[in-house]
Amino acid sequence: MDDIVADGQEVFNTDHLDAPSAGYDLSLSRNFKPPDISQSSSNTNFRIATLNCRSLVKSADVSTRNHFIRYLRTRPLEILALQETHASTIPLQQTFHMQFQASDSLWSPHCGLVCFSDLLSFSNTKYSVCGRVISTRVTHVHGAFDPVTVTVVYAPAGRRDRFTFLEELAQNGASLLPEFGSSRHILLGDLNYSYATHLSSSAPCQAPSSWLSYIDSYFIDCVTDTDCSPVATFSRGSSCSCIDYIFGTMDMFDCRVASDVTYIQPSWSDHFLVTSHFALRSPTHATILGKGVWRAHPRLASSETFQALVAHTIFTTVSTFDPHMSPQDKWDKHSL
């Protein structure tokens, strides 16, 4: 599958999926508390949330939309990722931008990213042709932290379309997703499958193995700890499940302060608001040694690519040491 360039933006072509044809081809998106690191003056609060809003248009009742948007914009957030926006026209996107009182916003018929902080800006934005993926770089105007890449994903609900979409995204979405070894990346949205089920050998697979392997290799669930059961993020009738996620690379995971899932009125959406709070270190403090230096993604040990990279790095580094160095000196130098 070849990348396509539209108006200077890199995209990958998944327009054969289930998006309606009219106006949908883009040519222009448990609460736990680790040790609190947000009190330091060198850290900046970065609160981000995701929600499937079940259409912001809500043409049957404009007042419902207005109350819904008013509620969302009063949440203590820097960035809000939305799915199922139905923002299929420029006038609608402009209307939503004004109603959210956003400092910056990005829209597609399927997704949206809304920035509420005047100190943050979006750049290097990329869209998928189908509108189900928006990826952008978030920068602080005063350089209070190094840029963070945020990618919002809305996977199709149908199993076959979801498998096709996620497999193509994992294998051919290099312009939208981080490569091996990338850092400072948050991936969030409605994936329309329960991530935890693939960890059980008895559960049927709800996503392609290439996608599951990609997530396991690059990201960590920033909402649910590994020893906890996920909280439902979707409820309809007697059915409930966890299908909305916030994933982060290891460096982002180590900056977590708290996460939670907030109930949303059923008249607004049958999904819940999923939020993660990060305390981002300033660039001058980002390299200070700490627990993050010594911790690794627990599933990387099963990755042959990672194993080969570690072995090569260790061999290359050790081969440069003075043969007369003591084992302790070698260890100390390699640890640096």
Q: State the CATH number of the domain containing residue 181.
A: 3.60.10.10
In whole angstroms, give the CA distance from residue 231 to residue 95.
33
- Rounded to 10 degrees, what is the CA torsion of 292, 295, 299, 304? 100
Q: Could you tell me the residue range of the domain that residue 111 belongs to?
A: 3-281
Whether 258 and 213 share a structural domain: yes
Question: Quick one: what percent of the chain has pLDDT higher than 70?
Answer: 73
Amino acid at 19: A
Give the per-residue pLDDT at 220.
94
User: Does 168 have pLDDT greater than 80?
Assistant: yes
Residues 251 and 171 in one domain: yes
Q: For residue range 244-263, what is the model confidence (pLDDT) as tens digits?
A: 999 999 999 999 999 999 99
Residue 90 or residue 307, greater confidence: 90
User: Positive or negative, the Cα torsion across 203, 208, 213, 219?
Assistant: negative
Count: domains in the chain = 2
Round the average pLDDT of the chain to a whole number and report it.
81
> 277 and 319 share a domain?
no
Judge whether residue 214 has pLDDT over 80.
yes
pLDDT over threshold 80, residue 15: no
pLDDT(189) > 90 = yes
- Give the pairing type, strands 244-248 and 3-6: unpaired
**In this model, does residue 23 exceed pLDDT 70?**
no
Q: Are residues 44 and 180 in the same domain?
A: yes
**Which residues face 178 on adjacent strands?**
none
